[in-house]
Amino acid sequence: MIKKLLNFFKPDVPIARETDKSKIDRLYKKYRWSVFLSTTIGYGFYYVCRLSINVMKKPIIDEGFLTETQLGIIGSALFFSYAFGKLVNGFITDHINVRRFMATGLFVSAIINLLLGSQSLFIVFIILWGLNGWFQSIGSTTCVVGLVRWFSKKERGTYYGFGSAGFSLGEVFTFIVTSLIVTSFGWRHGFFCSGIVGILGAVIIYRYFHDTPESKGLMPVAEYRNDYEDKPAKEDSVTSLQIGLLKNPAIWIVALSSLFIYVVRYSVTSW
């Protein structure tokens, strides 16, 4: 079972390179747009499955299923597992099939939302919503790695900036469409809606996201765009580079800054 799971997440195998210049340009354009749009839309659906509980807190409280304090604890379970999951899954993503990993994360998150729509026990909410945080953490790491593999150094900021609109689209859907469903049919149907949307997003990612240019018979993007990374003094393995990053003080400063931004952001969107 474990062996099959590991094989499922292995990176796609490189195939023979295409040599026709016009075909290379055509394929690169096609796959790059496919990657960009699928990650943008897919990450928006991640947010639908993450923010769903925010629009259901009041009806859940009004119906007497859970209290404000219990919902606060449930929300904290997601944030703690999300933070730890981002650290761990960020390391994993550099070694794995990003298409399958991202699709799996969203699919499991969608299933969790469907399960939450069918029960109301406090302890079950904590466990499931905590698990949701872990699988939610897969979304951003796979998006970033996917963009790095398909867009060169000088392009990434631009495409990441436009791609970041995806989570805003997810927020819009949640606070309008999901809220409308909750108002019309009740909070349980809000979870059902988020789960169905999440499954749709997982299908889109699995179908239109692509692991690496090499798996499509193309050269690495740095070679295609003639935009090479700054090479270190010596060639290190991916794992040693990852460990080296943890020793960089600038990384921890950015992490702390992000922490405080998230405190402000979610104190508003969650409560």
The residue ranges of every structural domain in the chain are 21-225, 236-271
Structure-token pair, residue 202: 């997982």
- The 10s digit of each residue's pLDDT in 215-262 is 999 999 989 888 777 664 455 566 777 677 677 788 788 878 877 787
pTM of the model: 0.87
The Cα 7–Cα 170 span in angstroms is 31
- The 10s digit of each residue's pLDDT in 67-126 is 989 998 998 899 889 988 988 888 888 889 999 999 999 999 999 999 999 888 899 999
Structure-token pair, residue 55: 């629009």
CATH number of this structure's domain 21-225: 1.20.1250.20
The Cα 207–Cα 177 span in angstroms is 25
- Return the pLDDT at 160: 80
